[in-house]
């Protein structure tokens, strides 16, 4: 057996080795770190701007709230004045109605005198009734006068003859009218 030695170097293909990038992890980490820091700064400025905007809005809304409270107080005062005016108006209207009714009552009581021969000695008219003392020459005139009063249904509720007294040539009577 023969052994053969080859002392010449063997030819190997030379491969160009790509140089491995050094510190790839650190470069990636640095890029990510810079991106995070920039994001934090940008968000900080944005939040600061938003905070300023919200504070300005708060101040404006507080001013509006104060104005609205003043308007609400004025509105309440006006409503109170309105209610007071309504009460005054209703009082005036009721007084005018009652005044008109009083005049209608007196006109009704006196208006029927011309038809009958009756003279009042005393006449007192109240809110809900009238008392009268009078003189007449005939009992028929008194009865007709009271009957005419009863026929005025919109004003007179009840007519009552309380007393009649015959004297020399005339008759005294007392009557009450309820309105």
Domain membership flag for residue 120: yes
For the whole model, what pTM was predicted?
Answer: 0.45
Q: Angle CA(133)–CA(111)–CA(163) in degrees, nearest 5? A: 20
| Residue pLDDT, tens place only, 6-39 | 666 677 776 766 666 677 888 899 999 999 999 9
Q: Give domain status of residue 62, yes or no.
A: yes
Which CATH number belongs to the domain containing residue 152 in this structure? 3.30.1360.100
Domain that holds residue 149: 55-179
Length of the chain: 179
Flag whether 36 is in a domain.
Answer: no
Q: Do residues 118 and 168 touch, judged by C-beta distance below 8 A? A: no
The number of folded domains in the chain is 1
In this structure, is residue 18 part of a structural domain? no
Identify whether 14 is part of a domain: no
How far apart are the C-alpha atoms of 14 and 10, rounded to whole Å?
A: 12
The answer to whether residues 127 and 98 touch, using CB atoms and an 8 Å cutoff, is yes
pLDDT score at 62:
96
DSSP β-bridge partners for residue 172: 135, 165
Q: Within a domain: residue 23?
A: no
User: Which helix (H) or strand (E) is 37 found in, with range?
Assistant: helix 24-111
| pLDDT score of 168 | 83
Q: Is residue 15 part of a domain?
A: no
Per residue in 40-99, pLDDT tens?
Answer: 999 999 999 999 999 999 999 999 999 999 999 999 999 999 999 999 999 988 887 777
Phi, psi of 138 (to 5 degrees): -140, 145
Q: How many CB atoms lie within 10 A of CB 161?
A: 12
Does some domain include residue 21?
no
């Amino acid at each position: 057996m023969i052994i053969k030695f080859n002392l010449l170097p063997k030819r190997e293909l030379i491969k160009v080795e790509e140089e491995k990038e050094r510190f790839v992890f650190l470069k990636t980490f640095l890029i990510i770190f810079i991106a995070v820091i920039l994001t934090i700064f940008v968000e900080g400025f944005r939040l600061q701007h938003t905070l300023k905007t919200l504070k300005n809005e708060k101040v404006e809304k507080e001013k509006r709230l104060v104005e609205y409270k003043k308007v609400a107080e004025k509105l309440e005062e006006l409503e109170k004045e309105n209610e007071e005016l309504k009460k005054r108006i209703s009082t005036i209207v009721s007084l005018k109605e009652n005044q008109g009714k009083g005049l209608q009552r007196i006109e009704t009581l006196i208006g029927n005198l011309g038809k009958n021969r009756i003279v009042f000695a005393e006449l007192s008219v109240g809110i809900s009734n009238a008392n009268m003392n009078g003189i007449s020459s005939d009992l028929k005139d008194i009865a007709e006068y009271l009957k005419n009063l009863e026929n005025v249904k919109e004003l007179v509720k009840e007519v009552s003859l309380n007393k009649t007294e015959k004297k020399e040539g005339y008759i005294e009577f007392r009557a009450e009218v309820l309105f």
